[in-house]
Amino acid sequence: MARCPLCGKSLDWGELIEQMIEEKGTEMRELLLDRERFLSAFREFVFKCPHCGEEFYGRNLPEKEAEKVFELLNDFKGSIDWENKKVRLRLNSLLALDTLLEQWDEKVTRKRA
Ligand SMILES: [Zn+2]
């Protein structure tokens, strides 16, 4: 789970992506077409924690989750409401589900082996 590197409170991925949309505008649409470009923009992006108000770079957040977020935003049509600059997906819930399925998958695979 993504946490603020300064105050340690959990962060909402939807809100983080919305900060990027707000700042990048239409460039964000292009970034979402290219995984590498998205990730490098993500690492360099200065996010602001909604809890403590401090700023930090995206590289301080778990990159594995950022990759998943990229996939989720691409997998679902209309995942972003560009007009209102809002993420429609509940990214944190989807990430949690994804982790759960991965763990389950590991368990099943291990039993079979
Ligand atoms: Zn914070």
In a domain, residue 84? The reply is yes
Higher pLDDT, 112 or 92: 92
pTM for the model stands at 0.90
Q: How many domains does the chain have?
A: 1
CATH number (domain holding residue 35): 3.10.20.830
**How many angstroms is it from 77 CA to the middle of ligand 1?**
31
CA angle, corner 80, sides to 28 and 17, nearest 5? 55
In a domain, residue 90? The reply is yes
**How many angstroms is it from 11 CA to the middle of ligand 1?**
8
pLDDT digits (tens, 9 = 90+) for 43-77: 999 999 999 999 999 999 999 999 999 999 999 98
In a domain, residue 78? The reply is yes
Range 54-58 contact pairs with CB under 8 angstroms and sequence separation of 24 or more:
54/4, 54/6, 54/7, 56/4, 56/5, 56/6, 58/16
**How many angstroms is it from 107 CA to the middle of ligand 1?**
35
pLDDT for residue 111 is more than 80 = no
**How many angstroms is it from 97 CA to the middle of ligand 1?**
25
Q: Look up tokens 């301080």; give the residue.
A: 60
**Enclosing domain of residue 85:** 13-112
DSSP string, 43-99: HH-EEE-TTT--EEEGGGS-HHHHHHHHHHHHHSTT-EETTTTEE-S-HHHHHHHHH
